Structure 1
Amino acid sequence: MNVFYEEEGTFKVGAVLADNTTSLQVEAPHGRRAKIKAASVLLRFDAPSLSEFMDLAQKTAEDLDPNFLWECCESEAEFASDKLAADYFGHTATPEEAAAILIRLHSAPMYFYKKGRGRYKAAPPKALEAALASQEKRRLQAEQQTRYTQLLSTFTLPEEFRPLLSSLLYRPEKNTVEWKALDAACNATKLSVSKLLEKCGAIPSTHEYHVNRFVLEHFPEGPDFGELDAGELIDPADIPVADVVAFSIDDVTTTEIDDAFSVTPLTLGSFRVGIHIAIPTLGIPPGSLWDTVAAQRLSTVYLPGSKITMFPDAVIQHYTLREDGLCPALSMYLDVTDDFTVIATSSRIERVKVAANLRHDTLEEHFNESTLAGGHLDHPFGKELLALWNFASRLEALRGKTNDSNNERIDYSFYVKDDRITISQRRRGSPIDKVVSELMIYVNAEWGKQLADAGVAGIYRSQGGGKVRMSTSPAPHQGLGVSQYSWISSPMRRYVDFINQRQLVALLRGEIPPYTRESESLHTFMRDFEAAYEIYGDFQRSMERYWCLRWLLQEKIEITGAQVLKENLVKLDHLPLIARVSSLPDMPPETSIEVEVSQIDLLELTFSVRFLHKLQA
C-alpha cells in the first residue's frame, strides 16, 4: 500500500511500512523513513510505483488550466477535490488523476482558497480579477526591471529615470522598480549608485551632486527663502547717533558685516576704542517670522564660492554695517590709557557712521609686519590701525598667548569664479587677524561677564581638558585664557549670538530678558545649534576637500611637495589637504618630501598619494 500525503505544504508519496490507525510509518522513494499522521494522507494506492505515480501526477497537473477548473466550480460553496476530479475527468478519478487535481488546486491560490484537507473554495470573481491584475502588474514590473537593469549595466540611463534622479541619489524608495533595477545593476557592475549613475551621464556636475545632497537633507524646502516677504524692518526711532567714525575689516566675500571699529583720541595719549556690532535683534522680536526662520537654520552655512545665509538678503542689507551707512549697532567703548590698559567700559545702542568696509586683500599691503616695524601705516586709517594693533598685542599678552603656537598655522581662503578655484594662504596671527580676533575675544568675554554678573541667562562656550562645551552657565575657556566666553559678535551669522544679543539688549534697556536659565527653549536652541554647527562644519570641510582636488586637476599637478605630520600622514603643500601614504618610510614629523598624486575621484572625494623621495632641507 502506498500513500499520497501533505507535509508542511508539500505533497509527498511513500510506501506504508506500518499502519497504526492514527499514524503511519512510511518509506520515501529515496529510502528515507518517516512517521506521518493518518490525517495527512490524501490518497491511498497500490499502483503505479511511487516514482512513476508522482511523475504522472505532476505531468497531468501541468496540463490542467486553473481558469477552466475555476469556471467548473460553484463560486460560493466549498468542494472536495475528488468531486472536482470526477467532474473534470468524467469518471471516478484514478489516484494519479486525483493527485493531479490536488497539485493544481494547491498551486493556484489566487483561484482556490484552501479550507481543509482536500477541500477548497473558488475565489470570488472580483477577488480573482484583482489578484490576476496584480499578478500581471508584477510580471510587467519584472520585465521593466530587467530592461532597466540591462540598460544601466551598459551605462545607459533609462529615460524614465530622469525625473527620479534626485530621489534615487539621495533618498531612494527601495521598494520601487527603479531602485531594484539600479541596485541589481550596481551589484552586476560592482559600482556604487553614484558612480554608476555618473557613468550613465546622470551626474553632469560633481559639485552640484555634493551640494544637492546636503541641501536635500538639511534644507528640504530649499536653501532660498522663497516667497516669504521680509516685510518692513522698523528700528526704534529714538536711537542716538554716535560721534565716531567706524570701519570694518573683512574678507572680500563677506556680505554679513557684523563688526566694525572706531578709535577716538582722548587726553594725554589715551584713546577710546569702539567695538560696534550689528544689531538685528532691534527689528526681529521673539516668535516673529524671521526669528522662526533663523531658529530653524541656526547658522549661515559656508562653502567655497557660496553660502546659505541664516537671514534673507533683505534683513542682511538692512543690518549689515555697510560702507557710508548710518547703521544701528550695539557698541562697547573701552577707555584705554597710553600704556594700553583698559580703565573703563560702557555699552550702548546707537547708530554708527561706517566710513569704510576694509578688505583683507587690499588692506594687507598697507597693514603687515613690515609696515608696523616702520611705526607708520600709509593708509587713511593708519593711526587707528596702529593703535588697535598695539592694543590687541596688549590684550593677547594679558591672555597669556604672546607665544601662541597658532601664529605659525596657515589659514586658507577659497575663491571660486567661473568654475575656477583660487586657494590663497595667509599665516594665522597676521596683524589683521590679531586685531580682529583680539577685539572679538574681548567683547565676547566682557559682554558674557556682564550677563553673568546681572544674573541674565546666556549661552556660553567653555573649554577644559581640551574639550569645548556649550552651557547656560559661565565657565573658563582655557584655550582663550578668559574667565568666561559668550558668542555675541556675529548675530547675523549664528543664532546663539542672536539670542545672547537679545538678552544683552534687554539688560541695557532695563527690560525683562526673553529667556531665563530654566527656559526650555533656550536649552533647545543651544542643543540644536551645536548639532547643526557640527554638521555645517563637516560639510564646509568636505567641500573644501572637493575644491582642493579640483585645484589639483585644474593646475594639472601630479607631483607636489608635502610635509610629514606623523606616521604615514602627510599634508600637501599649498593646500589644506591631508593624505595617508602607505608607501611612506619611517620619517620624523615636519620632514619635507615629494609625492605623486593620482586617481582623483571628485564624486567619492578620494585620491591616491605615492611617496617619491625626501627633499633636501
Structure 2
Amino acid sequence: AGQEEFGFAELGTEYFGHAPQPPEAAGLLLKLQSAPIYFHRKGKGRYKAAPEASLKAALAGLEKKRQQALVQAEYVAELKQHRLPDAMKSLVLPLLFKPDKNSIEYKALDAACNELQMAPQRLMLACGGIATPKDLHFSKFLYESFPKGTGFPAITLPPAPSLPVAQVRAFSIDDVTTTEIDDAFSVTTLADGKLRIGIHIAAPGLGIRRDDAIDQIARQRLSTVYMPGDKITMLPDALVETFTLAEGKTCAAVSLYATVDPQDWSVIATETRAEAVPIAANLRHNDLDALVTEDNLAEGAGDYPHKADIAVLWQWAQVLEKGRMAKREGFGLKPEQTNRVDFNFYVDDDVVTIARRKRGAPLDKIVAELMIFANSSWGKLMHEHGVPGIYRSQGTGSGGWAAKMQVRMVTHAAPHQGLGVDQYAWSTSPLRRYTDLVNQWQILACVEHGVTAPLAAPFKPRDADLFAIVSAFEAAYSAYGDFQSNMERYWCLRWLTQENAKQVDAVVLKDEVLRLTDLPLIIKLPGMPQVARGTQVKLDLLRWDDVDLTIEARLLEIAAPPSAETAAEAGEELADIETDGQADSLVEQVSEIETQVDQPSAAEPVAE
C-alpha cells in the first residue's frame, strides 16, 4: 500500500483479483483491524499505511515489550524459588510500600505472589529482601517518615550561654538508660521555714534560635521516636549532650521555683529564671523503686540519696494531686484511677523482657505532679503576658462525650479537664518534643522582656507559623505513636514465641475485647460469651503472626468474676482504646522505662 488512503474493498479487489465476496471482505477487514501498527484507520472502512518511521517505532515497542515479558518471566521464576533477582534488591521498600505498578519488577512480584498465594511482604521475607519481621515493620516506618534516613547533617554547636549559677543541688529521676534528661528538682529550706522547690528544665532554647540550622532539624522531626529497645532522637547527640542535665555538670536550665508553706503545702509564690543549675545526681528508677515506697516514706525507712528532698516532694505531690482531683471533679469528671498497671519493655540482643509496673508509685507520682504543675504554671505565665504558646486542651470540644473529651492542641490557654488544670502547655521536654522547645522560647521571652514579651517573643500573636507547627506536630506525633504501638505489639508476640506460651490469663475489657494479664496485648475473641467488664479468663493460644501482628485464641474458662478494682481498670483502659490512645490524664504517669530506652519522663505522655 502507498501513502494514500484506501478502502478495504479496493484493497480486496487488488488482493483477490476480483471484487471480494462477503467472506473474503470480512476476513480482510478483520485483518486490517488487527494490524493497527501497519494500517491506521481513517474512517469507516478506510485505512492508510503507517509511515515508515511510525512503523519502525511501533515494531521496536513490540520488541521491547517482548523482551520485558521475558525478563519478567525470569523474575517470576526466581521469586517462586524464593530468590530475589539482583535488579530488585535495591527496590524492596518501594515495591512493598509505594510501588510503580507499571514497572516489570512490580508486575513480576505481583505475578509471583498470585501464583504462590503469598503476600508481597512474606515473599520478600522468604527471598531475603527483608531479614526479619522486625526489620519489615521498622523499614516501613522509616520509608514513610524518614525517607532520607535518620542521620543528622553536620552541625555547629551553639556557644554555652552565660548564666548566673543557682545555689541548689538538683537531682533528676529517670531510668538507667535515659540520655535526654530534661528535668531535675531541688529543695531549699528558707530562713522563715518555708520551702523553695525548684523544677529545673533543660534549656536548649537558650542555644537554638528560631529558623537556625538546628531548629530546622528539630522542626522536621518534631519529636523523638520511641520503640522497645531503640529510639530516633529529635536532636543530634552532640547537642543533647550539651544540654542534658547530666550528673556532675552545671547545666543551662529554665527553672520554676515554687515557694511552699510546709504547714499546708500551699503555693505562696512562683518565679521563673534562666540559670545554670548544678546537677548533683541522676537518680535511677532501677536503683530506687524498691526503696522509695509509700510505706518506707511514711516510716522514714531506707537509705538512699536525696532522701529528705524526696520526702518533701512526695508530701507536696500528694497535695498537688488532691487539688487536681478536686478540680477534675469540679469539671464533672470522676477521680483518676491510679491502680492501673504499666508495662516496661527491655530488649537485649532481640530477647525481650516485659515487666509489669504499677502506676502511681511514689517516684512516678512525684515526677508526674511536678511536671503537670510546671506545664500548667508556664501556660499561665504565657497567657498572662499575652504571648501565644502551644497548649493541650480537653473537655472544651463540641458534640458527643468522646468528641468533647478529645485532647486538642491550641495556641491559647484553655482548660484540660482530664488533668484538672486551667491550662496546660507542654514545656518540660524540650530535648525531645518540638512543642516544648517552642514553648520554652516563649517562656524565656516572658522572663526576659516582661510586658513587652508579645513584641519580643519568637512567635507573635496569631502567627500562622505557629498553627502550621501544631498541625505538623499532631500528624507526626500520631504517626510516631502508631509506630510505637505496632512495635510494642510485635514484641508482645515475640515474647509469646520466646516463652513458648500456650495458655495465658486475660481480662475482659468489653464484649469480645480482652487484654492479656501479663502483656499489654489487646485481642478480639469472636464468640466470647457475654460477661461483665473486668472478668478474668484463661485463653488457649492457637496461633500468632509477627508479620501481620495478629493473634488467634479460644476461651478455656472463666477464671474469676470482676472485682471492683479490675472492673474500674478495664473501664479506664477501654476508654483509652476507644479514644484511639491514652488521654493525657492517664499517660502523665507512664514511666520512662516503658520501652527500655530514653522514654518521656513520668509526666510526659508517649501517645495520646
- TM normalised by structure 1 equals 0.83
In the aligned structure 1, how far is the partner of 2:32 from the partner of 2:554?
Answer: 68
Deviation at 1:584, TM superposition (A): 3.1
Residue pairs, 1:132-281, within 5 angstroms:
132-153=59-80, 155-225=82-152, 228-237=153-162, 239-281=163-205
Q: What corresponds to 1:432 in structure 2?
A: 363
Distance 1:138 1:443 in 2: 67
Which of 348, 365, 372 pairs up with 1:417?
Answer: 348
Contact 1:583 1:610 in 2 (8 A): no
Deviates more, 1:404-413 or 1:343-352: 404-413
Shift of 1:145: 3.2
Contact (CA 8 Å) 1:268, 1:338: kept in 2 or not? no
Q: Which amino acid aligns with 1:420?
A: V
Q: What count of residue pairs does the alignment treat as equivalent?
A: 540
1:495 equivalent among 428, 434, 440: 434
Superposed CA deviations along residues 267-292 of structure 1, whole A, max 9, x for unmatched, are: 35422111100111111111101111
CA distance in 2, matches of 1:155, 1:250: 47
- CA drift of 1:221 comes to 0.9
Tell me which amino acid in the other structure corresponds to 1:232.
Answer: L
Label 1:93 to 1:154 Cα distance change in 2 as closer, same or farther (>3 A): farther
Indicate how the Cα distance of structure 1 residues 106 and 588 shifts in structure 2: closer, same or farther if over 3 A, else same. closer
Matched, 1:130 2:57: yes
Contact kept, 8 Å, 1:376 with 1:386, in 2: the verdict is: no
Amino acid at match of 1:136: E
1:376/1:382 contact within 8 Å kept: no
- Unaligned segments of structure 2, at least 5 residues: 329-333, 396-403, 562-608
2:461 equivalent to 1:517:
yes
Q: Deviations over 1:367-403 (max 9, x none)?
A: 1123213124411210111111111111111212699
**What displacement does 1:153 show?**
4.6
Secondary structure at the aligned position of 1:281 is classed as helix
> Could you report, residue by residue, the CA deviation over 1:95-133 in whole angstroms, capped at 9, with x for unpaired residues?
355554443333211111223344332212221111001
Partner of 2:509: 565
Residue 197 of structure 2 aligns with an amino acid whose one-letter code is V
Separation in 1, partners of 2:318, 2:422: 19
- Are the counterparts in 2 of residues 256 and 320 from structure 1 also a CA contact under 8 Å? yes
Could you tell me whether the CA contact under 8 Å between 2:161 and 2:252 is conserved in 1?
no
Partner of 1:604: 548
Q: Pick the aligned partner of 1:504 from 433, 436, 443.
A: 443
Q: Note if contact 1:566-1:589 (Cα within 8 Å) is conserved in structure 2.
A: yes
**Deviations, residues 243-271 of structure 1 (Å, cap 9, x unaligned):** 11111111222211110001112235422
Give, as a single letter, the amino acid of the residue that structure 1 aligns with 2:426.
W
Q: Supply the RMSD in Å over aligned alpha carbons.
A: 2.1
2:335 maps to 1:392: no
Higher relative contact order structure (alpha carbons within 8 Å, sequence separation ≥ 6): 2
Q: Does 1:586 align with 2:586?
A: no
Q: Shift of the alpha carbon at 1:83?
A: 4.9
- Going from structure 1 to structure 2, the CA distance change for 1:451 and 1:117 (only over 3 Å counts) comes to closer
- The alpha-carbon deviation at position 179 of structure 1 amounts to 1.5
The alpha-carbon deviation at position 350 of structure 1 amounts to: 0.5
- Distance across 1 between alignment mates of 2:150 and 2:517: 34
Instruction: Indicate the SS of the match to 1:113.
Output: strand
Tell me which residue corresponds to 2:274: 349
User: 1: CA distance between counterparts of 2:66 and 2:461?
Assistant: 63
From 286, 290, 293, the equivalent of 2:214 is 290
- Contact in 1 for aligned 2:229/2:345 (Cα 8 Å): yes
In the alignment, the residues of structure 2 paired with residue 576 and residue 112 of structure 1 have an alpha-carbon distance, to the nearest angstrom, of 68
- Measure, in 2, the Cα distance between the counterparts of 1:485 and 1:610: 44
Following TM superposition, by how much is the alpha carbon of 1:581 offset from its aligned partner in structure 2, in angstroms? 1.8
1:450 is aligned to 381
Write the deviation string for residues 56-87 of structure 1: whole angstroms up to 9, x where unpaired.
xxxxxxxxxxxxxxxxx33x333444554455
SS of 2:386's partner is coil
- State the SS of the aligned residue for 1:474: coil
1:363, 1:180 → 2: CA distance? 58
**C-alpha contact 1:257 1:320 (8 A) present in aligned 2:** yes
**d(CA) in 2 for partners of 1:441, 1:599:** 43
Percent of aligned pairs with the same amino acid: 47
Partner of 1:14: none
Aligned to 1:528: 472
Q: In 2, distance between residues paired with 1:277 and 1:492? A: 10
Between structures 1 and 2, the one with greater strand share: 1
Q: Could you give the per-residue CA deviations for residues 473-531 of structure 1, whole angstroms, max 9, x where no partner exists?
A: 21111111111111111111111111111011011111511112310001111111112
Residue among 406, 422, 437 paired with 1:483: 422
**1:380 partnered with 2:305:** yes
SS at match of 2:278: strand
**Contact persistence 1:406–1:429 (CA under 8 A):** no
Equivalent position amino acid for 1:506 in 2: A
AA aligned opposite 2:376: A
Aligned counterpart, 1:304 = 228
- Aligned with 2:393 (options 462, 465, 470): 462
CA displacement, residues 337-389 of structure 1 (integer Å, 9 cap, x when unaligned): 22222212111100011111111111212211232131244112101111111
* Counterpart Cα distance in 2 of 1:406 and 1:309: 32
AA in 1 matched with 2:56: E
User: In the alignment, does 2:410 pair up with 1:471?
Assistant: yes
For the pair 1:408 / 2:339, whether they are aligned, the reply is yes
TM-superposition CA deviations, 1:407-458 (whole Å, max 9, x none): 1011111111111111122111100111001100111111111111111111
Partner of 1:60: none
* DSSP-derived class of the 1:243 partner: coil
Separation in structure 2 between the aligned mates of residue 106 and residue 169 of structure 1, nearest angstrom = 40
| Counterpart Cα distance in 2 of 1:612 and 1:106 | 68
Alignment of 1:539 with 2:483, yes or no, is: yes
Name the CA distance, whole Å, in 2 between partners of 1:604 and 1:577.
14
Between 112-121 and 167-176, the greater mean CA deviation after superposition: 112-121
Q: Counterparts of 1:603 and 1:383 in 2: how far apart (Å)?
A: 50
- The runs of 5 or more residues in structure 1 that have no matched partner are 1-72
Question: 1:569, 1:81 → 2: CA distance?
Answer: 71
SS of the residue 1:615 aligns to: strand
C-alpha separation between the residues in 2 aligned to 1:506 and 1:405? 35
Q: For residues 615 and 555 of structure 1, what CA distance do their matches in structure 2 show?
A: 22
Given the superposition, is the C-alpha separation of residues 97 and 400 from structure 1 closer, same or farther in structure 2, using an over 3 Å criterion? closer
Q: Which of 231, 245, 255 pairs up with 1:321?
A: 245
Q: Deviations over 1:167-207 (max 9, x none)?
A: 11111111112222322333344432212333444332111
- CA distance in 2 between partners of 1:119 and 1:616 (Å): 85
**TM-score w.r.t. length of structure 2:** 0.85
| Structure of greater Rg | 1
> Does the 8 Å CA contact 1:248/1:357 hold for their aligned counterparts?
yes
Q: Is 1:366–2:305 an aligned residue pair?
A: no
Aligned 8 A contact 1:377 1:383 in 2? no
Distance 1:591 1:99, change over 3 A: closer
Q: CA distance change for structure 1 residues 128 and 327 in 2, over 3 Å: closer, same or farther?
A: same
Tell me the SS of whatever aligns to 1:415: strand
What is the rounded CA distance, in whole Å, between the counterparts of 1:482 and 1:262 in structure 2? Answer: 23
* Alignment partner, residue 21 of structure 1: none
